[in-house]
Amino acid sequence: MSRSIWWPALVALGLLQATAARAEVIHDAKLGFTLTLPEGFREYPPGRAQPNTPYSFIKGEPGTDDFAIVGIEPMGGTIGREPLKELPQAEGIKFDKRREKWKSFDIDVMIGVARQDQVGLYVLVAQVPLKPEAIQVKLVAPEARQADLLALLRTLLAGLDGPSNWLTDAERGRSAGRAVGGLAVLLALAAWMFARWRTHRKPPAPGSGPGSPAR
């Protein structure tokens, strides 16, 4: 699936007000995650007006020099564990990237500064490998609040829980242990299967015949 991340339009500043309602914990059964929001955040309908952004929250007032907006976007499927090699391109903004921790995983975070009418907005987009569908956690704040926004992202990632399609290092170890145990049984049954296992990535030799073991 595509891992493009651009938020099609940044939230209009100073024109729309957030609702007074406050949500501290998000439970999404469909996407399979729970997210705990820090105190002070409330729902922000203008953010939800952006395509494919079912959740949007704000702290502070848009149009001031002290606010932060959080949006969550489903990605339409799972993502792989390999780091991003290409960053998105968008007019007026150049993205860089860094790695941050979610649970025991190192995940991709895109960083950019968008400028409009001499106003700079700092943008962070973290891709979280949930299953059955990955999400992007998108944050926007005034450029001067870069350090605060990065701290907020880390707080949000610490408060985000759900199953992942990635295996932890411990799960990888257990899977390897099961594979070794299964191999030992095969070795006890027939030594020739060991040779086949060592070359399991090679295509079957021509004329191997129907008696060759199935992969």
Per-residue pLDDT tens digits for 132-172: 999 999 999 998 899 999 999 999 999 999 999 997 666 54
Per-residue confidence (pLDDT) for residue 184, from 0 to 100:
37
Per-residue confidence (pLDDT) for residue 205, from 0 to 100:
53
Domain 25-161 adopts which CATH fold? Answer: Protein Transport Mog1p; Chain A (3.40.1000)
Per-residue confidence (pLDDT) for residue 49, from 0 to 100:
85
3-class DSSP state of 37: coil
Whose structure tokens read 């450029």?
Answer: 143
Per-residue confidence (pLDDT) for residue 109, from 0 to 100:
94
Neighbour count for residue 88 (Cβ, 10 Å): 15
Amino acid letter, 53? T
- The set of residues, in sequence order, having a beta carbon less than 8 Å from that of 21 and lying 6+ positions away, is 42, 43
CA distance 50 to 73: 10
- The set of residues, in sequence order, having a beta carbon less than 8 Å from that of 60 and lying 6+ positions away, is 66, 67, 68
- Give the residues of the chain that fall short of pLDDT 70: 1-23, 90-92, 116-117, 168-215
